[in-house]
Structure 1
């Protein structure tokens, strides 16, 4: 297939229909100058769902990527899947690939009578820098279990086994599992999905607006006891080190704000909800991960106390701070 024969629209064709109107959110300074600017869009909703703050193009549709995992986990529990809190947290995670992370994913499979060979996600090295270095030092290469979505895929397979659904084709577009995930996302976000593509690990990813993603997280964070939403939120709060990993900013954020649930996603996605239902969602336009937490922390800081190291990070020159990365 030549470059002009791709089965999807080219960038110029998409741009002709209008690009998202993102605004400056984060700046990196060095000395007396602004060295770089990250654009994006963000929304904050109050406990009653009302709009508290809006920046940029909050109605543009985007792919939430891994930020959908906690919503997926709700659907699995509603469908009858029995998981421990650790297994739920890992199902909602983009984990770092530590031995503990891999062991929990393996336990989800084993409880359903399944093995690692049943996984259909892509292979990768551990996502966490320390975990990746240790993994490589031990002589290991990319595996499905080490890949950051293995907890989610293990849970997806476990539900398929429970329901008697096809295991080998669980990522097929007509599989009942994917219909369940779509219906769950639409219900929790209160928005019809605008389009479907495939995430890096092989599961579907849906076009949504930022307010929709924020609403979905608000429903989890403020859900009444006894619901699947509350169970997922409780597991994430109890095990923030499983939702991401040691040294990861999402884990640090949940540890620092009692009752908060948070999930990031590739290409500069972040969603957070507080226990009272206050929620935010944001997208960094260039997909730059370094800009994600400074603006998240700044938006949260008007509602709760946020650690300073999440609000900004230093720019180094000769090993010494000469500037910083912070929200505008």
Structure 2
């Protein structure tokens, strides 16, 4: 594996009023159901930070540490990048409460909800006071704390890369990706973020959806698919895609990252070079159909088309689309 990401190729363009005004470059890895690389665009081999797309693997490590979620919804919020909607906050607090912990134990940064309606409601009720539980990674941090409580590990240092939980997460990521973690950074929430290749993380997601029923891997995937609104919010692309396409597992990450996987089909990991998120899901879903061969049911086609050809607005009206180049 090379030392750093080398960049990709044109994968999407933004067309406004019949004129191509922007171009997104990126890289794509497509793996088959057995985890072998089936196709690649750009640099699928160099290490990248998957950011929040690592969360299903982090949630798996929490289970391996001995955490037993009170509900599968609690497990889903631990793998989520939520928008701070009321049901997100309720679920993060549930994880903490069942572990005998409170919001004061969270070490993610204070924030306001990402969902506009939820943010406005919070500001109207309490004023613009950021709270750690509103931060989009508070579900993950709550799960990390619950796992530490279950294992008897120190709570105050759970974000430290040398902490037993973070060591277990690293081992889990390396096992599922089949790669050695090339670099450890600090994610936006303050927890470690681990660099692996696009091929590696696509392989890992394939293992989640192909895992036998009853295994911890399958449990994480099933929790996310059963509660997609918890994973990224009411209007989020992960929720919309998993709701429209039963069996699909989807998880986005910051800086233009997205991973999708479907049982019996394979998995796709996408990194958009400029870090913009608007092209990552369209490219990922288009690759899953045109390259991996996912068959989209007729009932899901309207939502699938909306996700793969998102509208560009002018004056509040549709005047173009993001167009994938796969």
Calculate the TM-score normalised by the size of structure 1: 0.91
Report the number of matched residues: 312
Question: Is 206-215 or 30-39 further displaced after alignment?
Answer: 30-39
Correspondence for 2:194 among 206, 228, 244: 206
**Aligned partner of residue 207 in structure 1, secondary structure:** strand
- C-alpha displacement at 1:59, in angstroms? 1.2
**Hey, what does 1:321 align to over in structure 2?**
318
Structure 2 equivalent of residue 236 of structure 1: 224
User: Residue 236 of structure 2 corresponds to which residue in structure 1?
Assistant: 248
Q: In the alignment, which residue of structure 1 is the partner of 2:41?
A: 55
Aligned-pair CA distance for 1:314: 2.4
- What RMSD over aligned residues (CA atoms) do the two structures have, in Å? 1.5
Instruction: Give the 3-state SS of the residue equivalent to 1:321 in structure 2.
Output: strand
SS of residue in 2 equivalent to 1:117: helix
The C-alpha deviation readout for 1:188-210, integer Å capped at 9, x for no partner, is 11100001011011111011100
Unaligned segments of structure 2, at least 5 residues: none
Which blocks of at least 5 consecutive residues in structure 1 are unaligned? 1-16
CA distance in 1, matches of 2:6, 2:267: 22
Q: Which of 62, 69, 82 does residue 76 from structure 1 map onto?
A: 62
Distance 1:76 1:327, change over 3 A: same
From 118, 124, 149, give the equivalent of 2:105: 118
Which residue is 2:305 aligned to?
A: 308
Cα distance, 1:122 vs. partner?
Answer: 1.1
2:20 equivalent in structure 1? 34
1:292 deviation in Å? 1.3
Q: Per-residue deviation at 1:318?
A: 3.6
The Cα shift of 1:183 comes to 0.5
Counterpart in 2 of 1:14?
Answer: none
Kindly report structure 1 stretches of 4+ aligned residues shifted beyond 4 Å.
Answer: none
Distance in 2, matches of 1:192 and 1:97, equals: 34
Conserved? CA contact 2:5–2:43, under 8 Å? no
Match of 1:266 among 242, 254, 264: 254
Q: Report the TM-score when normalising by structure 2.
A: 0.92
